[in-house]
Chain A
Amino acid sequence: MKVLVAVKRVIDYNVKIRVKADNTGVETANVKMSMNPFDEIAVEEGVRLREAGTAEELVAVSMGPAASQETIRTALAMGADRGILVQTDDDLQPLAVAKLLKALVEKEAPQMVIMGKQAIDDDSNQTGQMLAALLGWPQGTFASKLALGDGAAEVTREIDGGLETVSLTLPAVVTTDLRLNTPRYASLPNIMKAKKKPIDTMSPADLGVDVAPRLTTLKVEEPAQRQAGVRVADVAELVDKLKNEAKVI
């Protein structure tokens, strides 16, 4: 079967983000960008299916500015066969991304789409569920285990109290949680090889999708800062403060 993985270029998780002085957003100029960590897990899962022979082809797709090519290259270096970039400088919200992915699914006809459960920039946690809804497919969100059977996928999901296993009729959308796997680092030879793998580029208009945003960000602010705390001398003083001052124990 064919598997599609969706990857997003985001500010690297190690970067301390800064809110812009004019409160219009977050500073992204000259900031290190990387693949969304949950999407790395999605790519890894796809590559494992590819290596196991379950998937015959793994296609990595991304949406966003031209630089998203680099993110697709990372996926190709990890083991994806080819890439598709839907290039736009417009602000893409989850519903728009889901519609673009739906258009690509209709072109490519994969049996499964795998992506991170959320991107660590806008923290929406929506796109996979929305894509599944638009396609009328089942969704295995927050997956920590994926097993493929005959025409069905068994997905173990991380839920608040533990784990839940569901059986989904293929085709299906799977979104990844942290425990699904540990993504590999691309080796230098594979990084070199990835440079020769093809990436198709198209626009939202080519796919006939209206990506106009539905939500307007009025302002972005720093969260309330914590007041400076105090140092305590020993454990006894700590317990006393927690009991009598903070009253939390």
Chain B
Amino acid sequence: MSVLVVAEHDNRSLKPATLNTIAAAAELGDVHVLVAGEGCRAVAEAAAGAASVAKVLLADAPAYGHPLAEALAPLVVGLASSYDALLAPATTTGKNLMPRVAALLDVAQLSDIAAVVGPDTFVRPIYAGNAMATVQSADAVKVITVRTTAFEAVAADGGSAAIEEVSAAEDPGISRFVGQELTQSERPELTSARVVISGGRGMQDGANFTLLEEVADKLGAAVGASRAAVDAGFVPNDYQVGQTGKVVAPELYIAVGISGAIQHLAGMKDSKVIVAINKDEEAPIFQVADYGLVEDLFKALPALSAELK
């Protein structure tokens, strides 16, 4: 069985999510990696050096300077006949592209797989991970996005795959990149952070999030929030961790002043280690926490910051 992984990159470096996706692909068969971009040979070389990669396809063209689904989908569709499965990480780029590819191939798409059971059978979370569905695909080509936190990344080095250039597909010319505003933060991004610290309604005020930020800076953590904190206007919507916000699975998740509504638990309960700090010892968050501290957060956070110095 041969599998094509669509690499995620910024034309300069290969994004780590690609390595997790290669790991999932390697469970299915021989892995080829498609690097589509503009001036992105360095990315192709990085992909060729990753473990488990048999071949790298490089499509270098101005139309791929930004990962627009309208331009990329025909390229991937054109390559699809040589593969049994097409995989991409379940990042915003992968989630934007792969359903478009699947529909053009008239096949279903499997979103966010968390395990490979067999060549046509996969486990994927539904209801924000509150249930796990085992699904079997009847289609000839499996088009898949991969929950990267569920697969251990392959080594970034040790491989020596050949790089083969492929020509660009015709650009339908119906979409155009205008600009981007990447969050300029010293802190890592919520969905890929190793440590996440989130505040809830117990924070009482947006200004109090500086207490969380102090701890976050010491841990190299991202800062999140519960829906209650977002709805109360403490922080912007993109902080939200939960069923209708971002789903995170860091090594360490620290929930501060969060009661643990279902909506929030759905977004963080796959974290490896969960810490809850809440003054209400009955708070449901303690039922999922590995370490629970019943204390007023306005005492606990400064103490935590001091302890971590």
Contacts and interface: CB of A to CB of B under 8 A. Distances in A.
Interface of A: 11, 13-17, 19, 26, 37-38, 93-95, 98, 120-134, 136-139, 141-142, 154, 157-169, 178-179, 213-223, 226-232, 234-236, 238-239, 241-242, 246, 248-249
Contacts of B192: 160
B111 A160 contact: no
A135 B134 CA distance: 31
Nearest to B219: A249
B238 A179 contact: yes
B107 interface: yes
Contacts of B269: 223, 226
Given A13-B263, A179-B237, A218-B134, A137 B102 contact: no
B99 A133 contact: yes
A134 B105 CA distance: 10
A130 B93 CA distance: 15
A232 B300 CA distance: 12
Q: Which of A17, A122, A126, A132 has the most CB of B within 10 A?
A: A126
Contacts of B263: 13-14
B158 interface: no
A242 B135 CA distance: 37
A19 B195 CA distance: 30
Majority DSSP secondary structure for residues of A touching B: mixed
Chain B contact surface mostly:
mixed
B152 to A, nearest CB: 16
B307 A166 contact: no
Contacts of B66: 164
4 smallest CB-CB distances across A and B, nearest first, come from: A129-B99, A130-B103, A214-B108, A133-B103
B127 A129 contact: no
B42 interface: no
Contact of B182 (A120, A162, A214): A162
Given A162-B182, A179-B236, A242-B273, A249 B103 contact: no
A222 B131 contact: yes
A216 B176 contact: no
A1 to B, nearest CB: 17
A123 B99 contact: no
Given A160-B91, A231-B293, A239 B308 contact: yes
B93 A17 contact: no
Contacts, number: 254
Contact of A165 (B125, B138, B179, B183): B179
B134 A134 contact: no
A55 B233 CA distance: 31
A215 B274 CA distance: 34
B12 interface: no
A37 B230 CA distance: 15
Contacts of B107: 95, 214
B274 A168 contact: no
Contacts of A220: 126, 131-134
B262 A16 contact: yes
Which of B66, B134, B236, B291 is most buried by chain A, counting CB atoms within 10 A of its CB? B291
A98 to B, nearest CB: 6
Interface in B126-162: 126-139
A13 B243 contact: yes
B111 A126 contact: yes
Contacts of A230: 290-292
A238 B275 contact: yes
Q: Pick from B135, B219, B240, B274 the residue with the most CB of A within 10 Å.
A: B135
B252 A242 contact: yes
Nearest to B105: A133
A129 B100 CA distance: 5
Interface in B218-238: 219, 236-238
A217 B134 contact: yes
A123 B102 contact: no
Nearest to A171: B174
Contact of B183 (A11, A131, A133, A161): A161
A6 B76 CA distance: 28
B165 interface: no
Given A215-B137, A220-B131, A232-B291, 18 more contacts: A122-B126, A123-B127, A141-B92, A141-B95, A159-B92, A165-B180, A166-B177, A168-B176, A169-B175, A214-B107, A220-B132, A221-B132, A222-B132, A229-B286, A229-B289, A234-B293, A242-B291, A248-B251
B181 interface: yes
7 contacts: A37-B244, A95-B102, A154-B178, A160-B93, A165-B179, A232-B291, A249-B219
Contact of A162 (B173, B181, B240): B181
Contacts of B274: 226, 229
Most buried by A among B100, B104, B243: B100
